[in-house]
Structures are given as structure tokens and as C-alpha cells.
Structure 1
């Protein structure tokens, strides 16, 4: 479907508005002119009758009534006709006057008659002393003809005005839209990844909000692109080291001289593969969260049951490290996405198990709580490991941040610094409050996540 340009639409709408206004004005003027001209014509007929009557000499009774001469050519163009009657005889008359009386009853005053198929406006004036009656008339054809002439000139003038007005509006709109055309040309000439804000000097104020909104979108896209570039660069750096380690362990296993050396190298290789798989999984989770078109639908989820399932998944790893994992839970239901909440729990518990160390302790709790007058559910995962210094706790949720001085840098992923950033991102999606705190018996580290507005399980 073909769409007309804004320039054409504005010009056409303005022309139609002016045309409607002119038609209304023209109708009023025609009515007013008709009323005024009728009054003027009546006054003119009255004045002419008085003048003709005053100019008639005495002795008209002696004049014979003459026969009607042929009507002259162009008789309809005569603007006025008169007759002078004496004792029932038409003794004086104008060339265009009809043969019969203009006003047969000869009463003084105005009348409208049909003579020779035409409507006439006539006036009769009598002087009784001399017995003279003057009748003056004018054909309605003259009124209509003059009105037609006036309307024709008005229409011609209006057409000229409409043409000039349309040209002026077309030109003004075109000049006003030139900055927009220049802006379009600038966009077409831009490189694909040029996200600098647009500058459009002279742009009409009506288009300024559109350009501002577009610049805001460009800024958001630029931030997203920069964010993805940093993410890809950091991810490539983080993957390069594990892959190099895996290659080294594989080379050691190939060059091992004894079964014991080969088994030791293969064990280190297997551990490296697990760490690389964990890193890849977290990178994929992070990319999936960032690529989401919008927040997922939040449905009632039993957080307490989900905590039990995830803790059981880490029983083997905790047993290998001779760790004691305690769980304190009560029925807790929140609004959330079960897949994202599972990622959050796995990262928190994996973080605690890895850094509690051999013979360490891990405590997981899921309880109802009230924060600042808001009822909700608080999830806590604590350990008694080396902990995180107060100075670094504000940065532990940054991507790829590593706590200096730890034997295993990072927290939730064994070295990449991705796990807690995942936790923070998922907490933000669920409108949850997350904060670091001290671990078990004042040692180690703890992460507390508060989910507000939890539905009532009894309801």
C-alpha cells in the first residue's frame, strides 16, 4: 500500500481546511450580497421612479399611445425599464420595457411578477393631481447575472489564492524537513557499528523528542555492545588458561614413564576438564541471561524443596572433602523462575563447598523473614573458609573479579569470578536483595538473599 509523504499530507490537509473555510465564507457572502443587492435594487427602483415622475411635463394627456416597437437587440442587457401611464395609456417607456403594464393593478409599491417568462421586480408611483403613473422594473435576470459575475470573479481569485497558498505551504514544509532529510542521509552514510549520538541542528522541535529517544537507544545499544565485547574478551582470556593447562596435563600423561605418573597426570587432567566444563556452563548461563528478551514469567516455586534437591547434588563433593553440610529449612514459597533459581543455588553452594576447604563446614538455610517491614523469604549459604576481606566485599559480584591473596582465586567457580555475578543478576531479575556477611561462627563467608512479597503458603 502506497503511503503519502508527510509533506503532501500536511499540504493537502491545510488546503482542505482553507477550502472549507472559504466555502463557508462564500456562502455567507452570497446570502449577504443577495440581501443587500435586493435592498439596493428596491431603493434604486424607488429613486428612478421619483426622478422620472418629476421630469414628466404637463400635457401628457394629449400624447397618443404609440404602438409597441420591436424589442431591440440585447434587450435583456438593459439594466432598467420604465413606463409612464396616463389615463390607461402608455405614453412614455424605455426601449426594453414590455408592452403590458409592469404592475397591472397600478397600486403604488413593490411587486414581483412574471413577464415574458421572466421574473421582474417592479415599483409603481402615482401622482393623482396629474393622473400620471410611473412604473419602473428590473428583470431578475440582471440580479442573477450580476451575482454570477461576482461569484465567477470570487472563484477565480480564490483559485489563485489556493495555488499560491499551496506553493507556499509546500515550500515551507520542505524547508522545515530539510534537517530530517540530512539526518536520514547521515544515517545511510554511517558505518554499521557507528553508535555515536546523532546531531541534527535546525531540526523542528516536534522531531526533537524522536531524535533524543533514538540517541538514547543508540547509547543503550552501545553499552550492550561494549558489554558483550568485554564479556567475550574476558571469557576468551579465562578459557585460554584452562585449555593451556589441559594441554599441559595431556602432554605429561603422554610422556609419563610409569603407570603411577600417567594416572596422576590423568587425574589432574580430569580435574581440569571438570573445572573447564564448570566454567563453560557458567559462561553459557551468563550469556543466556544477558540475551534474554525480557524477564521470565515468575510463578510460585517451593524454594525449600529446590534447596534440598541442590544440596543433595553436592553431597558427593562434600563427602570427598570430608565436609559437614547442615540444612535448616521450612516450607517457603516464592515467585520466581525455577531454572534461574536452580542456577543461583548451585553457584552459592558450589562456592561454599569449594572454599570451606577440607574438613570444613557449610550451612544452608531457607526461612521466612521480615526486612524493613516487608515479609519474605531469606536464603543463606555460609561456610567457615578463609572468607573475603571487608574491602573486597563490594566487588565480589563484579564479573571476573578475583579476591587477591586466596589460594583459589575467585569464589563461585574455582577461579573465573563468574558465579557470584550470576547470583547477583538472577537476584536482580527476582527483585531480591543480596548482601555478603560473615560466615559460620564469625569465620568464613556468607551470602544472604532476601526474596520479598512471598505468597502465603496457607493461602
Structure 2
């Protein structure tokens, strides 16, 4: 599900147009390629710099130590006078500075030395502190970076300093940059063109789906072809097919509902017309009064049918209740029973409300409609001086509501059919339009509950409704 929702994040929902998917893919591809190339270049650059520093530092240290080992025999040769020894040492240092550099990758050195505190070259300057700074360090002189190494021979009191100019290191680094960057500058446009062609071909299945949908008529709600869809597009095609199937089912359901509703309304309207004509033509006052009474009763029945139709239209089975609140079921039962007291007293029915003080997370208005339809059906089909029993209890994390009556009941084979709109039982002499149980079924489904029809110990119908209890479902914000 998370991968499906990721498609929704391709668009900015707050007042922004969805940008081109092709442009997004190209930007992501080129951006990631650029980041990958830059990261690889930097890592390689630093690794190469470290390796070159290690190589050239080792060469610098080795050169300095070898120079010191060459100077010690000259300076400690007692067969020569001190002035001659210093002259030979200075000549050796000067020769090292003047070494020809035919190879551009060879490091250039500047050597200085001090023996017993005395400089061996004119550029040596005063004797630096022997332990004031690290033996190997970076320096900048005249705007140029230099690498310096000092080696001190304690036994012979000889300090040798060799400074390496960074020309060779800079040259290698620059050539590496040219080797890496220049090919990318050449291949960059080619890579962008290849990415554009690849993305264009990759989005072709989406264009095919769009063309197939555009070429369809309004009546064509058949499934899209899933076999030719790529693996990445297949979930979208399946979702569209499920949507088309739900739309087709909804249209079929509405067409059946419209046909049944027109039939249910046409019959009482025809009867009303007949009664009205009788009242107009009748000269007998008593006959006219009976016709008017029948007319009023017919109007009441038609009003009931219209109200049930409107209730049925509001209770869309494809949506769930959004305004759930914790409600005590028993007060709602008492309120519903009080609303039909007149009919209960006319038939001298015994109505008993039992069970626990259970709570449920429900939409109050929807549950009142449910209870009114169930109790209205029970009072209509229960004979005079019959019994109706209503029970409510908590069962685990659910709330169970049961309504029993002593009426004729419903045969097991007909119970499923009577949950459909405009379906009625065998007792045609009892007024009704066949929408009550269908409305109840929709309300229960919208509450994520369950509805069962069975046989009651009282001899009639037993309706059992299971709703999520107050501790099982989090209430949703009202809309």
C-alpha cells in the first residue's frame, strides 16, 4: 500500500499544478547522476591526494635522511680543516637545489642545514628551534604551498631541512581533474538525450492507457487490458478496473432503484387519483368522507415511501459514517419506542427493553433511523396483544442489539432476499414499501457492523445487529 500511495505524492495538492512526470523523472535522473559523479569525484580526489601525500612525504623524508647521512662523513672528517668541510657540505646542498628537473612529476627540493648551530648555506638563516614544531608540516611562502621536513641528528648536532615545492602534486591533481571532468562534459548532453529517450519510451504504456480511455464511449465500462501493462503500471490499471467495476455496479444499482421507486410511487399515486375522483363525483356525504379518508391514508403511505426513498438515497453503501460519537444505546431505544407509542397502544403490544447499559461509537441520527425501521417493522408484523423484546449488551469489544417479535417471522430462504430494496414478505395485507430492512442493512454496513436475521424464541423474527463497541473503534472527527 505504501508503494501505491507514493504515486499520490508526485503532485503538490495545495493549489499547485502537477508538473510533467517526464520532467520529474529526467530531473531526478540527471540530479542523482550529477550527485553520484560529484561524490565519486570528490572521494577519488581526496583518496588520490592522500595517496600522493603519502608517496611524496615518504620521498621527502627519505631524501632528507639520505642527505644527512651524506653530510655527516664530510663534516666529521677530521683530516680536512673545518672551513673545507663546510665548503664541501655547502656544495652538496647547492647541487641538490640545482638538480635538473626534466621530469615534471619529480618533486623540486630546497635544502638547508646547520651544524653545531652554524648555517651551512647562505639561505639557511638563523638556527630554528629543534623541537618547536612538527618535523613534517605545510608552509606558504610567496603565495606558494610548500612541504617541509626537518631531521635532527642529535649525536652529530646536525639539523637538515628539505622543503619540497608542491608543483608535482598540483600537476597530478590538475591532470586528474581534466581526465575526470572533460569526458563528463562531453558525455553529459549524450547522457541527457539517452535519459530523455528512455523516459519517453518508459511512459509510452501510460499514453496507451490514456488513448484507450479517451476512445471509449460513456457506456463502455469494461476492464482495461492488464496483460500488456508493465509491472509498474499494472497496479494502476487494476485500480482503474476496480473503479470501473464499482461505477458499473453503482449505475446498475441506481437503475434498479429508480425503476423500483417509479413503480412504488406510480401505484399509490394512481390510487390517490381514483379516490380524489370518487370524492369529486360522489353526492353522498358518507361516501365522500370515506373517499377522503382513503385519500388521506394514501397520502400518508406515499409520504412514507418518499421518506424511505430519501433515507435510502442518503445511506450510500460505499461510504462509512464520519460523525461517530460514543452513545448509550438504551436511551436511544427508549426514545424510539416512545415515538411509536400510538401504534403500540392501538395494537395493545407488550414491549420490553432489557439487557445492559451498553455504549457504542455510532452516528446518532443514523442509529435512530435504524431503530425506527426495526421497531416499526416489528409493530406492523406483530399481531394484536403480541410481544416485542429488545435487548442490548456488550460482547467482547462489540455491542450487540437484538429485537425479537411474536409475529409470523420470515422463512430462512427469504431472509437474504428481503435485505434488497423493495422486497417484501408474504404478508401483503400489511402496509409497507419494502425498504426498511434494506435501509437497516446499509446503516449497519456504514458502521462496519453485522446484521443477521433469524428465528425468535417468541415465534417471530429475530434481528441481531453487532456494532463496534466504544472501546474498539476510535471516534472520527465530524465533518
Q: How does 1:309-324 map to 2 (within 5 A)?
A: 309-320=335-346, 322-324=347-349
Distance of 2:52 and 2:387 partners within structure 1: 103
Q: Residue 419 of structure 1: CA displacement?
A: 0.2
Q: Residue 29 of structure 1: CA displacement?
A: 9.2
Distance of 2:293 and 2:309 partners within structure 1: 24
> Match for residue 237 of structure 1?
263
Say if 2:41 and 2:180, in contact at 8 Å, map to a contact too.
Answer: no
Distance 1:106 1:285, change over 3 A: same
Q: Which of the residues 403, 418, 423 maps onto 2:440?
A: 423
Distance of 1:305 and 1:15 partners within structure 2: 67
> Match for residue 267 of structure 1?
293
> Match for residue 119 of structure 2?
none
Say if 1:179 and 1:203, in contact at 8 Å, map to a contact too.
Answer: yes
Q: Which of the residues 347, 358, 382 maps onto 2:373?
A: 347
**Residue deviations 1:253-279 (CA, integer Å, cap 9, x gap):** 222231122111111111111111111
Do residues 19 (structure 1) and 5 (structure 2) align?
Answer: no
Do residues 185 (structure 1) and 211 (structure 2) align?
Answer: yes
Q: Residue 16 of structure 1: CA displacement?
A: 0.8
Do residues 379 (structure 1) and 402 (structure 2) align?
Answer: yes
Do residues 406 (structure 1) and 427 (structure 2) align?
Answer: yes
Do residues 105 (structure 1) and 121 (structure 2) align?
Answer: no
> Match for residue 7 of structure 2?
none
Say if 1:249 and 1:266, in contact at 8 Å, map to a contact too.
Answer: yes
Distance 1:25 1:17, change over 3 A: same
Matched position secondary structure for 1:105: helix
Matched position secondary structure for 2:291: helix
Distance 1:176 1:254, change over 3 A: same
Q: Which of the residues 423, 447, 459 maps onto 2:463?
A: 447
Q: Residue 223 of structure 1: CA displacement?
A: 2.6
Q: How does 1:149-228 map to 2 (within 5 A)?
A: 152=178, 155-192=181-218, 194-199=220-225, 203-228=229-254
Q: Which runs of 5+ in 2 are unaligned?
A: 1-15, 61-88, 111-164, 472-479
Distance of 1:398 and 1:199 partners within structure 2: 33
Distance 1:161 1:190, change over 3 A: same
How many residues of Structure 1 are paired with residues of Structure 2 in the alignment?
Answer: 367
Distance of 1:163 and 1:248 partners within structure 2: 85
Q: TM-score, normalised by structure 1?
A: 0.66
Q: Which of the residues 318, 328, 332 maps onto 1:306?
A: 332
Q: Which runs of 5+ in 1 are unaligned?
A: 43-102, 124-138
Q: How does 1:282-301 map to 2 (within 5 A)?
A: 282-290=308-316, 293-301=319-327
Distance 1:202 1:170, change over 3 A: farther
Larger Rg: 1
Distance of 2:338 and 2:52 partners within structure 1: 101
Distance of 1:198 and 1:281 partners within structure 2: 40
> Match for residue 92 of structure 1?
none
Distance of 1:368 and 1:140 partners within structure 2: 89
Deviates more, 1:245-254 or 1:275-284: 245-254
Deviates more, 1:236-245 or 1:374-383: 374-383
Matched position secondary structure for 2:420: coil
Distance 1:450 1:159, change over 3 A: closer
Distance 1:140 1:323, change over 3 A: closer
Say if 2:358 and 2:393, in contact at 8 Å, map to a contact too.
Answer: no
Do residues 396 (structure 1) and 418 (structure 2) align?
Answer: yes
Distance of 1:445 and 1:383 partners within structure 2: 7
> Match for residue 351 of structure 2?
326
Say if 1:238 and 1:416, in contact at 8 Å, map to a contact too.
Answer: yes
Say if 1:374 and 1:453, in contact at 8 Å, map to a contact too.
Answer: yes
Distance of 2:381 and 2:166 partners within structure 1: 112
Q: Residue 427 of structure 1: CA displacement?
A: 2.8
Q: TM-score, normalised by structure 2?
A: 0.63
Say if 2:329 and 2:392, in contact at 8 Å, map to a contact too.
Answer: no
Distance of 2:246 and 2:326 partners within structure 1: 32
Deviates more, 1:264-273 or 1:305-314: 305-314
Say if 1:114 and 1:120, in contact at 8 Å, map to a contact too.
Answer: no
Distance of 2:357 and 2:451 partners within structure 1: 18
